[in-house]
Amino acid sequence: MHQTVRLLILLLTLFAMGAGPVAAQSAGGAMKGVFSLKFFVSNFSQNNLRCRLTAAGFEEAFTKPLRERNIQITKSSAYWIFIRATTLFQEEEESCITYIDAQLMASTRFFNPATASERAGKVELWSDGGLYISDLEEHSEQVNDAFAQLGRRFVIEWLQDQN
């Protein structure tokens, strides 16, 4: 099968797995007052390991810009950030395709006076992501750099929301 067709099939598979493009989003001031958050790396797979990716590398790369702005990473917070890497390993070409994304979520409660009931839920405050393709030898560095850029974009939007 031709390389381009195989790559197209792999990319379509990634999108079918829920790894579609994510545009950076922040609902005008949604992150105002967020100074601590819980941090999770989710969906860590065997393909991530095959492509020499590590959860510790993701966490270090993403959280460094946050720590530089004194955003605290804690074990308990009403806000939490999930980062995820969905990876496909192409054995014949020794290359990797990884879609990364991050979401900042908040726990919320509200009282509905019409029903006299309280509801709890989750609200997405911010999200961003991207798709990265490289040779096996370079992939870990490329993905960790991408997570660092994602962390910097988070901080830029966080700073805008503080005003």
Q: Which tens digit of pLDDT belongs to each residue from 91-118?
A: 888 999 999 999 999 988 777 788 888 8
State the pLDDT at residue 68. 94
Comparison of pLDDT for 158 and 44, the residue scoring more: 158
Q: Which of 23, 30, 28, 19 is nearest to 127 (CA)?
A: 23
**Alpha-carbon 94 to chain mean position:** 25
Residue 84 domain flag = yes
Domain hosting residue 148, numbered range: 33-162
Position 16, amino acid: A
Question: Please, which pLDDT band fits residue 20 given cuts at 50, 70 and 90?
Answer: very low
**What's the whole-model pTM score?**
0.77
Residue 120 domain flag = yes
Average pLDDT, the chain: 84
State the pLDDT at residue 13. 57
Distance CA 97, CA 161 (A): 33
Residue 22 domain flag = no
Measured in Å, how far apart are the chain's first and last C-alpha atoms? 53
Element (H, E) at 147: helix 136-162
State the pLDDT at residue 117. 85
Number of folded domains that form the chain: 1
Residue 56, token pair as written in the block: 């510790």
